[in-house]
Amino acid sequence: MKTQKLILGFLAILMISCIQQDQKIKNTNAEGVSTIYSGPIIDMHSHAFDENSSFNRMLGQEMDLAMTGKIYSAPSSMNHLKKATFSKFKEHNIVKAMVSQGELWHDFAPEKVIIGNDNHLTVEELRQKHSNGKLDVLGEVAPSYQGVLPTDESLSKYYDLAEELGIPMGYHMFPGGPPGGAYFMYPKIRAFQGKPLQLEEILFSHPKMRFYIMHAGWPYLDDMKALMYTHPQVYVELGVINWVLPRKEFHNFLKGLVDAGFGKRIMFGTDHMIWVETIDDAIEAINSADFLTLKQKEDIFYNNAAKFLKLSDSEIKKHKGK
């Protein structure tokens, strides 16, 4: 009996070793170099919430994603959420994060938080926040939840402000909440509002605006390629689509942008809300893309955002440990 247990134990160890070796092979290229990126990361799309947020009532609950079968759990309080988020940032070496309503969390980690705010505030309020060092990005701007198109005249002053202040604008196109969300959460949202080519005349009239499209314009790949071809100042980020979509669909969309030659203008994002495990899956979605080289992953995870944000050489060297 003792000999049998020893044999079974040996076989179990051998099996684990084989699995680990197989995974190691999968994560290396033909030259034996790792294809898993582990350097610094910039998250261009995250959120902070106060106790009055509608997300507050979802704390301590699970979210079941029908499209992927994944289940995510939310922390029990906003304070726990903040601590869990920054713990996850540390785990994955996320050195910067554009946090919408980032003023709520800035004092907790001022070196990490890029403060974002949106068009729920007036232009005067936003200008004052910028003057006080409390506004770095105009985003997430997401009027489609109220059924407002990007061409609506009410938004013109916000494009003007972003160009005037020289700060980036992060604009939400699509998706609009969870699948089917128009029927129970956001009754004014419509799928056609997510077409990126609506932005064309806005970009022509604001040529100096630093503009990035959140969620990368999914699912309108051809529109997105046409817009990026015509407007070289436009960047995209990959938040939410890198964890809410089936992996094959996300990879197909990302590959379409990369194959079209736009790999230097794609930025990493999570659209992290209250489910911290989505950060893990968002990162894994890029690292598991076997059509990307390690250099392309580094560009998406860090280099492209560092250029877009105009980070100093000294800060970049600090992040990269040089």
Q: Are residues 14 and 148 in the same domain?
A: no
For residues 223 and 310, membership in a common domain is answered with yes
Both 160 and 305 in one domain: the answer is yes
- 28 and 51 part of one domain: no
According to the model, what pLDDT value does residue 4 have?
Answer: 54
Q: Are residues 224 and 84 in the same domain?
A: yes
**Residue 57: both structure tokens together:** 């009532």
Q: How many Å is the Cα radius of gyration of the chain?
A: 21
Whether residue 258 contacts residue 296, with contact meaning beta carbons closer than 8 Å, is answered with yes
pLDDT at 181 over 50: yes
What whole-number distance in Å separates Cα of residue 130 and Cα of residue 165? Answer: 8
How confident is the model over 131-144, as pLDDT tens digits? 999 999 999 999 99
Q: Which residue has the higher pLDDT, 8 or 241?
A: 241
Same domain, 26 and 59: no
pLDDT (tens digit, 9 = 90+) per residue, 234-261? Answer: 999 999 999 999 999 999 999 999 999 9
Closest CA to 160 of 190, 195, 119: 119
Confidence of residue 313 (pLDDT cuts 50, 70, 90): very high
Domain assignment of residue 64, given as a range: 37-319
CA gap 182, 167 in Å, rounded: 31
Span of 5-14, 45-54, 236-245 with lowest mean pLDDT: 5-14
One domain, residues 29 and 73: no
Sign of the C-alpha dihedral computed for residues 161, 240, 280 and 221 taken in this order:
negative
- The arithmetic mean of pLDDT across residues 69-77, rounded, is 96
% helix / strand / coil in the chain, to the nearest 5?
50, 15, 35
Claim to verify: residue 17 and residue 148 sit in the same structural domain: no
169, 106: one domain: yes
Strands, DSSP E only, in the chain?
41-47, 62-64, 71-73, 94-100, 113-117, 137-141, 169-172, 211-214, 234-237, 266-267
Please give the model's pTM, rounded to 2 decimal places: 0.90
pLDDT of residue 25: 45
Q: How many CB atoms neighbour CB 66 within 10 A? A: 10
238 touches 268 (CB < 8 A): yes
Q: How many CA atoms lie within 13 A of 275 on its CB side?
A: 20
Residue 28: the pLDDT is: 67
Q: How far is residue 99 CA from its own chain's centroid?
A: 10
Query: Which pLDDT value is given to residue 24?
Result: 47
Residues 25 and 41 in one domain: no
Please tell me the total count of domains within the chain. Answer: 2
Mean pLDDT score, 12-36: 56
Residues 193 and 225 in one domain: yes
The pLDDT mean for the chain works out to 92
pLDDT reported for residue 298: 98
What digits encode the pLDDT tens for the residues 106-162? 999 999 999 999 999 999 999 999 999 999 999 999 999 999 999 999 999 999 999
- Judgement on whether residues 160 and 24 belong to the same structural domain of the protein: no
- By C-alpha distance, which of 39, 66, 11 is closest to 299? 39
The first and second tokens of residue 118, run together, are 């949106």
CA distances for 63 relative to 68, 73, 111, 247, angstroms: 12, 6, 31, 18
The domain that holds 236 is classified in CATH as 3.20.20.140
